[in-house]
Amino acid sequence: MISLNKETIKISSEKDVVLFRQRLREYATKIGMSVLNQTKLITAASELVRNILVYAGSGETTIEVVSERLQTGIKVIFKDNGPGIADVNKAMQDGYSSGRSLGLGLPGAKRLVNFFEIKSTVGHGTTVTIIRWKK
């Protein structure tokens, strides 16, 4: 996978979430991503960036334009140093909730993107990587 452009945004307040979403839309528009795929990407990313604020308090996102085998897309990495997720498999089940939500977040975000990877260590934080291809 080739990285074509990359930007990291610190997340520690609602204002940062708004900036992140604006920048993500700019990147998606710049590569010619369809409105439908932009909506899927931004919806998934909004859930994941909000998780940083809710569960970890702060973290960072990296937006990257990537190219692989004649496809171009947007890769976003969400990283925090929060409490981590004790049981990732359970957290990825529809309906699971840690008590603060409807439990649609992680599995819902996964369904909206082409690639979804989550790595989490209790006491050290969570990193989620997503990719949505242009087409």
Q: What residue ranges define each of the domains in the chain, with the CATH number in brackets?
A: 2-133 (3.30.565.10)
CA atoms within 13 A on the CB side of 45: 30
Tokens of 98: 């840690």
Output the CA torsion 119→38→25→114 (10° steps): 20
Distance of CA 102 to the CA centre of its chain: 18
Write out the H or E segment, with its range, that includes residue 6.
strand 2-11
pLDDT in tens, the chain (135 residues): 777 789 999 999 999 999 999 999 999 999 999 999 999 999 999 999 999 999 999 999 999 999 998 899 999 999 999 999 988 888 888 776 665 554 458 999 999 999 999 999 999 999 999 999 998
